[in-house]
Structure 1
Amino acid sequence: MADDSVSRRRWLAAVGATGAAGLAGCTGGDGGQSTTTTTASDETDGGMTETTAKTTEQANVSGNVKIGVLQPTSGDLKYYGQQSLWGFYSGLAYKGDTDPITGSSTGTHTVSVGDTEYELVVRDTQFAADKAQSLATDLVKNEEVDMLFGCASSSAANRVIKTVVKQAQVPYMVGPAASADITANSETCGNLVFRASENTAMDARSGGKYVANQTDVSKVYLFGADYSFGKAVVNNYEQVLKDEGVEIVGKKFVPQGHSEWKGLLDKAKNAGAEGIVGGFTVATLPKLFTSFLNGNYDYRVFGGFATRITNAIVGQTLQKALGKPLTKEKLQGTKLGPFTTRYHWNQYDNEINNQFVDTYTSAYGVVPDLFTSGTFTAASAIAQAVSESGSTEGADIASALRGMTVTDTPKGKNGYTFQQYNNQARSSMTVANPVPTTDEWAGNWKAAIMPSEPLATIGAKEATIPKDSDQMNCSL
């Protein structure tokens, strides 16, 4: 611990010596502070919590934990940041037996879990790596946070790790940034870098194996966005599908927002593809799906089940192409799916998830979405680490997180476990088809299609890159 403290002090001194030029973008913009306080009862999870590594007494710890929170809360992808915040707020609220913070404003918000006060200093990354770096620097240097949480962009998370986390030796809970490399590459993984959120390798290892073993697809063309997330999707699917005996007949990376899809989809058809994978966000997926539906291609599209905003756009496209109302039979004819889901509200039936769905829907007017289980678990894990360690110090929280099985998660009790070899939490995954949104969920999902009941649940161990894999280049 002494070495870490010295390193951090030296880093802070070096940053201070750079002056204002070295912190361009750290002042203004996100500096206006709004404050929200939520207070819970003094009772926390009492008794014993069993983890894979240890069984520890839960303690009600008096003190303050200051967390710098980095999420996009403006721009085209602000919903990514919103649902990430809402999941995190819901996790702390569950641990504190209180209502979650509402809204997604920047500023300082506080939540009490027993005698521990969590001070959340929220900043808007605008989904940009440069912005995330400057904000993280400011949070560590000027706000003196105990730890960092966030980044929806994998590029932003990578930048924060390399330039702030490893330099300042400050614990960082990544999420929901999903590139598998974050916790599998030696340049970014580390003993202070944790992630509860699911990643692209988990998508591929669950969805890819399902497609290879449960469908008649034997030849696949891979498409991905030309940056860290898209490359991670393609690379992980390529590895998994090859291992399962599926032939990769081509792969292509395109810029985010690419809209000219007919030629590329024709190329996949001419290559003999029986299925394609699309590693994209909402900036690209709707145009791909539109071209696919209008082109009458005879191959299947699979990959990850997207967030509500993508499903809303794709649902509208399907209604135009197939007519209203959508039916299961119409959707089956499109050859869209099956899709892996990291989490959606209707994939897990347990007491914690049921309460999570109720409180989240009441607070935010929508059901929990793709990123929310991972960020709920991130908050739950931090609160558990404080309780188990009996400390509010960042280094002690990090020590308690290593190897932890998280007790309270939307995937059930003990639903996530941080692997000791890379600090990535493993959890189960599901595979589902798109189906018409039922009347029960229409008002709070606000998209014409939703995930079906799970076609399959893939266990946490099977969905995770193992320690001895060629893809795992992390050793803590």
Structure 2
Amino acid sequence: MSTDDRISRRSVLSTLGAAGVTGFAGCAGGDNGGTDQTTTGTDGETMAGEGDATGTTTGSAGGASGTVKLGVIQPMSTDLKYYGMQALWGFFSGMAYKGDTDPVTGIESGEYTVSVGGVDYELYVRDTKFSADTAQTLATDLVQSEDVDMLVGCASSGAASRVITTVAKQANVPYMVGPAASADITGNSKTCGDMIFRAAENTAMDARSGGKYVAQETDVQQVYLFGADYSFGRAVVNNYESVLKANNVEIVGKKFVQQGYSEWKGLLDKASEAGAQGIVGGFTVSTLPALFTTYLNGDYNYRVFGGFATEITTSVVGQTLQKVFGKPLTEQKLQGKQFGPFTTRYHWNQYDNDINSAFVDMYSKAYGRVPDLFTSGMFTAASAIVQAVEESGSTEGADIASSLRGMTVAETPKGTDGYAFQKYNNQARSAMTVADPVPITDEWKDQWGAAIMPSDPVARIDASETTIPSDAEEMGCSL
């Protein structure tokens, strides 16, 4: 980064001041208190362990030399910290894979250095506490005070959008978003941009893969859509509606409710009366247990679709299933209620290739659990950054961004060349899978704290079909 660039960024962000928080407060909405998939506390959320906040690891590879400073912002405290921790674990695993070393453990707020060939990647890790205000403040400080070459992170779509509009775009600093999943981030002209990238999968990819499977591989022709009344829930419902209609499935109703809504009998009865053969719920762990309990205890003839969530959300769903069906859960019990199948962005057992095998091995040894929903996208984010440095031969943020545009990422958990950044919006496309919920097997029960897990894939949706096309009505980004 040149001296002129640093001075320019400082001056721009200094003049922005507190007005940036006020001016964009409405865009954070419910995401300050919610998330793309909300969670409650769990043992797994503390698996990062204790440890010094400064560490150095080295490896071998490369095609450039020097230092790249990455400002990495994720929630690492509060009840939502598991989202941030699994994102960090995935990112550090990607860096370790590229450097042929072990992942950093004991991660907390602080500075870490991972060396890949002749390049030192200095990672300035900061805790957003799942707050858009905090994320903006931290991002501003990382750009102004630490002179980072690139920003990485945010599990909340509201926080990511805030950082994009008030920091990344204002200071013209590259930003690799993830795992924040709202499709709008890379689909809306206000938040997409030449310097805004996302390797992680998004809600449109959930819907385009899950919706197509419902339309083409099941006998469901009428669907009722439910969603939480904030950005994540609306994104799920809107994307499913678009995809299902395009595949000649009738939407017989849709309803948005507040997070934590629990009076589900009336709404599920309404879906039944409307002739629904399937329902989709765009909800988090604050709402799903009540919905599933009512559905599973009721006499409903329609199927439930959606997406496999993270371990902690899946754990709550598993507990609900055990209360209804008793222990032990069996495949027969689960199949009897038309529960699923569900789309998954990534889980450890969905991809059979050497890179994923190495990833599962290194991640589980370092962090005591198997890679989860957000980890492949964040591994790929790290892999892509290193690849961009090596291909460009430069450690400058602008050169890294230039190399990322249109890049096919060579080394990913979804296989060789498993992700590719689209030139029209800098969103990476990748394959998605569909799987049934099955009881946890003995092989994985010590590293996956839920009573159910994804089965082997029942379908795979090619990367060419998973993302919003450049000419689609809902694609508002054209770079």
Q: Given the alignment, which residue of 198, 201, 208 partners 2:201?
A: 198
Instruction: Assess if the C-alpha contact under 8 Å between 1:38 and 1:98 holds in 2.
Output: no
| Alignment correspondent of 1:456 | 459
Identity %, equivalent residues? 71
- Deviation track 1:64-95 (CA, whole Å, cap 9, x = no partner) reads 11111111111222111111000000000000
- Deviation track 1:252-298 (CA, whole Å, cap 9, x = no partner) reads 11222323322222222222211111112223222222222122322
| Alignment correspondent of 1:129 | 132
Q: How does 1:71-86 map to 2 (within 5 A)?
A: 71-86=74-89
Q: How does 1:15-164 map to 2 (within 5 A)?
A: 15-16=13-14, 35-41=53-59, 43-44=60-61, 59-164=62-167
Aligned partner of residue 415 in structure 1, secondary structure? strand
1:60 Cα deviation from its structure 2 partner = 2.9
Aligned partner of residue 431 in structure 1, secondary structure? strand
Q: Kindly tell me: are residues 245 and 143 of structure 1, through their superposed partners in 2, closer, same or farther at Cα, counting changes over 3 Å?
A: same
Instruction: Assess if the C-alpha contact under 8 Å between 1:34 and 1:108 holds in 2.
Output: no
1:299 Cα deviation from its structure 2 partner = 1.2
Instruction: Assess if the C-alpha contact under 8 Å between 1:69 and 1:149 holds in 2.
Output: yes
Aligned partner of residue 424 in structure 2, secondary structure? coil
Instruction: Assess if the C-alpha contact under 8 Å between 1:83 and 1:371 holds in 2.
Output: yes
Write the distance in 2 (CA, Å) between the matches of 1:357 and 1:19. 43
Write the distance in 2 (CA, Å) between the matches of 1:290 and 1:143. 49
Write the distance in 2 (CA, Å) between the matches of 1:15 and 1:164. 7
Write the distance in 2 (CA, Å) between the matches of 1:22 and 1:367. 39
| Alignment correspondent of 1:440 | 443
1:469 Cα deviation from its structure 2 partner = 1.0
| Alignment correspondent of 1:30 | none
1:38 Cα deviation from its structure 2 partner = 3.4
Segments of 5+ residues of structure 1 without an aligned counterpart are 25-32, 45-58
Write the distance in 2 (CA, Å) between the matches of 1:17 and 1:458. 46
| Alignment correspondent of 1:392 | 395
Instruction: Assess if the C-alpha contact under 8 Å between 2:13 and 2:171 holds in 1.
Output: no
Q: How does 1:249-264 map to 2 (within 5 A)?
A: 249-264=252-267
Write the distance in 2 (CA, Å) between the matches of 1:448 and 1:393. 46
1:21 Cα deviation from its structure 2 partner = 9.3
| Alignment correspondent of 1:52 | none
1:10 Cα deviation from its structure 2 partner = 4.2
Give the aligned CA root-mean-square deviation in angstroms: 2.0
Instruction: Assess if the C-alpha contact under 8 Å between 1:71 and 1:151 holds in 2.
Output: yes
- 1:12 counterpart letter in structure 2: R
Write the distance in 2 (CA, Å) between the matches of 1:90 and 1:466. 31
1:362 Cα deviation from its structure 2 partner = 0.4
Write the distance in 2 (CA, Å) between the matches of 1:19 and 1:248. 45
Aligned partner of residue 15 in structure 1, secondary structure? helix
Q: Kindly tell me: are residues 331 and 400 of structure 1, through their superposed partners in 2, closer, same or farther at Cα, counting changes over 3 Å?
A: same
Instruction: Assess if the C-alpha contact under 8 Å between 1:171 and 1:395 holds in 2.
Output: yes
Instruction: Assess if the C-alpha contact under 8 Å between 1:35 and 1:110 holds in 2.
Output: no
Q: Given the alignment, which residue of 351, 373, 385 partners 1:382?
A: 385
Instruction: Assess if the C-alpha contact under 8 Å between 2:13 and 2:167 holds in 1.
Output: no
Write the distance in 1 (CA, Å) between the matches of 2:269 and 2:342. 22
Write the distance in 2 (CA, Å) between the matches of 1:155 and 1:387. 32
| Alignment correspondent of 1:318 | 321
Write the distance in 2 (CA, Å) between the matches of 1:320 and 1:79. 25
Instruction: Assess if the C-alpha contact under 8 Å between 1:341 and 1:430 holds in 2.
Output: yes
Write the distance in 2 (CA, Å) between the matches of 1:444 and 1:317. 20
1:16 Cα deviation from its structure 2 partner = 2.9
Write the distance in 2 (CA, Å) between the matches of 1:95 and 1:239. 38
Q: Given the alignment, which residue of 169, 177, 181 partners 1:178?
A: 181
| Alignment correspondent of 2:424 | 421
Write the distance in 2 (CA, Å) between the matches of 1:20 and 1:420. 34
Instruction: Assess if the C-alpha contact under 8 Å between 2:389 and 2:395 holds in 1.
Output: yes
Write the distance in 1 (CA, Å) between the matches of 2:276 and 2:433. 25
TM-score (norm 2): 0.90
| Alignment correspondent of 1:306 | 309
Write the distance in 2 (CA, Å) between the matches of 1:20 and 1:93. 38
Write the distance in 2 (CA, Å) between the matches of 1:159 and 1:350. 37
Write the distance in 2 (CA, Å) between the matches of 1:152 and 1:271. 36
Instruction: Assess if the C-alpha contact under 8 Å between 2:12 and 2:171 holds in 1.
Output: no
Write the distance in 2 (CA, Å) between the matches of 1:285 and 1:474. 32
Q: Kindly tell me: are residues 23 and 35 of structure 1, through their superposed partners in 2, closer, same or farther at Cα, counting changes over 3 Å?
A: farther
Q: How does 1:343-422 map to 2 (within 5 A)?
A: 343-422=346-425
Instruction: Assess if the C-alpha contact under 8 Å between 1:376 and 1:410 holds in 2.
Output: yes
Instruction: Assess if the C-alpha contact under 8 Å between 1:15 and 1:22 holds in 2.
Output: no
Write the distance in 2 (CA, Å) between the matches of 1:20 and 1:216. 54
Does residue 247 in structure 1 map to residue 224 in structure 2?
no
Q: Given the alignment, which residue of 268, 271, 280 partners 2:271?
A: 268
Aligned length: 451
Instruction: Assess if the C-alpha contact under 8 Å between 1:5 and 1:169 holds in 2.
Output: no
Write the distance in 2 (CA, Å) between the matches of 1:297 and 1:144. 57
| Alignment correspondent of 1:331 | 334
- 2:353 counterpart letter in structure 1: N
